[in-house]
A = this chain, B = another copy of it.
Amino acid sequence: MIIEIDFSSDIPIYIQLRNEIVRLIVLGEINASDSLPSVRRLANDLNINHMTVAKTYRLLKEEGFIEIDRRIGAKVTDKGGIREILLQDVGSDLDVLIVKAKNLGMDKKNFYEMIDERW
């Protein structure tokens, strides 16, 4: 499991770690029902404080990405639920972006064009 943390970034480590784990789930490198490493194990591997990892796991749980069982640790929620969450995520990002685009006087056609250039 390749997780990269940038210690000189402005983004808090627990957020970076959250993003990395979500990325791995989305890419299928962590599958539904897989267990995540224990808090202490992961903290040790990444050379960060275990409180930080715990915070990330708590966040992921709140977001619905993982479930935490005191006995067996954290495991990834089944894929359906995750896809749902991520789609909502894209949706709300899109809401913000559409507002920005409209404020710049763009119409839907302009916006489509920007997407075509990038897709």
Contacts and interface: CB of A to CB of B under 8 A. Distances in A.
Interface of A: 7-9, 12-13, 23, 26-27, 48-49, 67-71, 83, 86-87, 89-91, 93-98, 100-101, 103-104, 106, 108, 111-112, 114-116, 118-119
Looking at chain A's contact residues, the main secondary structure is helix
Contact of A94 (B26, B68, B115): B115
Contacts of A83: 104
Contacts of A119: 98, 108, 111
A86 B100 contact: yes
A26 B105 CA distance: 9
Contacts of A7: 69-71
Nearest to A49: B71
Nearest to A23: B103
5 contacts: A7-B70, A7-B71, A26-B100, A90-B101, A98-B118
